[in-house]
Chains A and B, each alone.
Chain A
Amino acid sequence: AQSVTQLDSQVPVFEEAPVELRCNYSSSVSVYLFWYVQYPNQGLQLLLKYLSGSTLVESINGFEAEFNKSQTSFHLRKPSVHISDTAEYFCAVSNAGGTSYGKLTFGQGTILTVHP
């Protein structure tokens, strides 16, 4: 069985400040890792993903996350946030092998609120 723990339920931050949203996972097999973002009253959108290769992955809007296998973490960072980054962020994991057909296990979510 897999599990995902997002260590902060809410993160308030001022505009242009850096932010880190923490995610730890537990799994007995190799994993794929994802960060999804949900804006108010909308569905989830993929922000970035780690499947293989470089452990540092980036999104088009300045977020990055680093896969740390030894610490079983996949923290999300942005050096300078904008008001428009206010949203709920979900970390998720799926089996990299076997026949799990992409079933995702989600964390509880972190609400990022950017203040002017």
Chain B
Amino acid sequence: NAGVTQTPKFQVLKTGQSMTLQCAQDMNHNSMYWYRQDPGMGLRLIYYSASEGTTDKGEVPNGYNVSRLNKREFSLRLESAAPSQTSVYFCASSVQKETQYFGPGTRLLVL
């Protein structure tokens, strides 16, 4: 089992460009999450998907959209990147309220 995988690992964007971060899990988990990690702020929830076909906003959803493509995949889209979105992005999955399993992260720099 690969667990939670994320692509790409690194990305540099110019302000205004768009991109999609991909996440997939092979653990048959119902719930999936997107977080961003910034120095001194811990991880903050952007969006989550409690189950296939549902998505909901987290703490910092502005500037992002998500798609729960199927049970395995949960993508995060930046429609018009801004320097404030420079961060490390983590995808996670879980069986409802149990332990969350995290991917290796995507490091995004917006110039």
Measuring CB to CB, which residues of chain A are less than 8 angstroms from any residue of chain B?
Answer: 4, 6, 9, 32, 34, 36, 42-46, 49, 90, 94-96, 99-109
B96 pairs with A43, CB closer than 8 A: no
B43 pairs with A94, CB closer than 8 A: no
B97 pairs with A43, CB closer than 8 A: no
A103 pairs with B48, CB closer than 8 A: yes
A-B contact sample (18 more), CB < 8 A, given A103-B45, A106-B42: A4-B42, A34-B99, A36-B102, A42-B104, A43-B4, A43-B104, A43-B105, A44-B43, A44-B102, A45-B102, A46-B101, A90-B43, A101-B97, A102-B33, A104-B43, A104-B45, A106-B43, A109-B40
A90 pairs with B42, CB closer than 8 A: yes
The residue in chain B whose Cβ has the minimal distance to the Cβ of A42 is B104
Which of the four size classes fits the interface of chain B? 20 to 34
Expressed in whole angstroms, the Cα–Cα distance for A101 and B104 within the complex equals 22
A108 pairs with B58, CB closer than 8 A: no
